[in-house]
Amino acid sequence: MENILDRFLRYVSIDTQSNEESETQPSTAKQLNLLRMLNDELRAMGVDSSIDEYGYVMASIPSNIDKDVPAVGFIAHVDTAPDASGADIKPQIIKDYDGSDIALKGVPGLFLRPSEFPEMLKYKGQTLITTDGTTLLGADDKAGVAEIMNAVQYLVEHPEVKHGPIKIGFTPDEEIGRGVVKFDVARFGAEYAYTMDGGEIGELEFENFNAASAKIHIQGRNIHPGNAKGKMRNAILIAQELNSLLPVDQRPEYTEHYEGFFHIIRFQGTVEEADFAYIIRDHDRALFEQKKDTIRRCTDFINSRYGEGTATLTLTDQYFNMREKVEPHYHIIDKAVKAMEREGIKARIQPIRGGTDGANLSFKGLPCPNIFAGGHNFHGKMEYIPLESIEAASRVILNIIDLFAE
């Protein structure tokens, strides 16, 4: 059986960064490199697996018990976030971590410090996998991919383990909110599922943000600055003015727990025109709708001040809070809690300050809470993951399968 560390390192070596500007599915062809590899690996293990035109890998392991139990699925995404490079990743392996600062050797003077990330000290004595400071690591969500594949290999190599029907899914484009747009729930065939896409060990989530994206175009008027009085409309300054109308205390850096936010994620502009984008988030649906109305009113104000057509807003819902779809099936949460307890892990049920494929799947009729993958500081050069958390997550998968078979 392949070592789970080697499997994880093999997966993160493949660049699978998604691209929100792309119109294709998947958004980048390079994601197919890993998706096809996973399909081939599953088939080589003797598992019935296929990959469709959109890049979705779906696999099925038939029941080996003589009673009817629900089919349970496990899902992870292969793409990495556009926020940082996912190419030429050079992981560092820190064995028997002693609690000191870790030099990220690809960037002189850059360290992963417990003084800045105190949760690192929870993992003294464990093996930490870090970046070298030049890229993200890709544990979000290649840790989840490795955990699922490791569990599948264990079941294949131990046919004496009794289980019901098991479904496996790997998806592209989760990081840009399009991970399961064309995912065929009926073809997948699970009654319940779990995404292995959470953070640190013990996390269990069935609440997430309601989410929207907002893209704004500002049309300015460029006049030679020597003759600009009363004529120029500087699109950069107008964009800054619109941004200043949004509540400062509702930026991500000032919010926590159930508090929502407006987060500006991109800006590009000249005097003539500017484009910028936000993500809008809130757990409460009513407050979420209020936030969308706020950005509409800000856009309207700019148009009333500078003329109709100055600001053009494109507002798109991305996903909604899965709680209303998962809570009626709370037994799947109970099973996840028990599966963690078997490993001596205390489950921490908390809202996701983000979203997963599980949210959209839940609204497609597949209740799908989210279980820890084990990593920290996703989407950036400070990302790291303890090997022991990856191993524990894979065992939790096997425990859930056992609990469904009981």
Catalytic residue of the set 132, 147, 174, 391: 174
174 is catalytic: yes
Q: Retrieve residue 300's tokens.
A: 């309207």
What the block records as the tokens of 9 is 């390192």
Read off the tokens for 201. Answer: 């060990």
Q: What is the 3-state secondary structure (H, E, C) of 210-243?
A: EEEEEEEEEECECCCHHHCCCCCECHHHHHHHHH
Does the active-site annotation cover 200?
Answer: no
Q: Please provide residue 115's backbone torsions phi and psi, each rounded to the nearest 5 degrees.
A: -65, -25
Instruction: Compute the distance between CA of residue 312 and CA of residue 191 in angstroms, rounded to an integer.
Output: 42
Cα–Cα distances in Å, from 365 out to 166, 214, 251?
A: 17, 27, 33
CA distance 189 to 164: 13
Strands (E), 206-321: 210-219, 261-269, 273-282, 311-319
Q: Identify the active-site residue in 15, 79, 147, 282.
A: 79
Closest CA to 143 of 326, 396, 339: 396
Catalytically active residues are: 79, 174
